[in-house]
């Protein structure tokens, strides 16, 4: 199963707004994605409650994993998203 480990770039960590942005993108993907942090078991990346429960603060290392034909592309995209400071970006009107 392909994996990517990334440092959370958001200044406040994976709290409500950055988590919502990440979860929305994870849910749009053609393959299911899992996320884990702090030695916890992986949880569905498309679940806002599960992602928030990870408690991934700023600079936390999280691991993404996925299976399927497009897993590598999806993981690269989502890892890039998590590495950005999503708190500093303008809200997406969509």
Rounded distance between C-alpha atoms, residue 16 and residue 20, angstroms: 6
Given the residues 2, 3, 12, 15, select the one marked as catalytic: 15
Q: What string of DSSP letters covers 8-53? A: --STT-S-HHHHHHHHHHHHTSSS-EEEEETTPPPEETT-HHHHHH
Q: Is 1 helix (H, G, I), strand (E, B) or coil?
A: coil
To the query of whether residue 12 is one of the catalytic residues in this protein, the response is no
Please give the positions annotated as active site: 15
């Amino acid at each position: 199963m392909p994996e990517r480990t990334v440092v959370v770039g958001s200044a406040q960590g994976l709290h409500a707004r950055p988590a919502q942005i990440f979860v929305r993108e994870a849910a749009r993907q053609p393959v299911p994605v899992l996320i884990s942090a702090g030695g916890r078991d992986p949880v569905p990346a498309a679940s806002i409650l599960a992602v928030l429960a990870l408690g991934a603060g700023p600079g936390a290392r999280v691991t993404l994993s996925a299976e399927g034909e497009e897993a590598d592309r999806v993981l690269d995209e989502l890892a890039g998203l998590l590495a950005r400071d999503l708190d500093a970006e303008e809200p997406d009107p969509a």
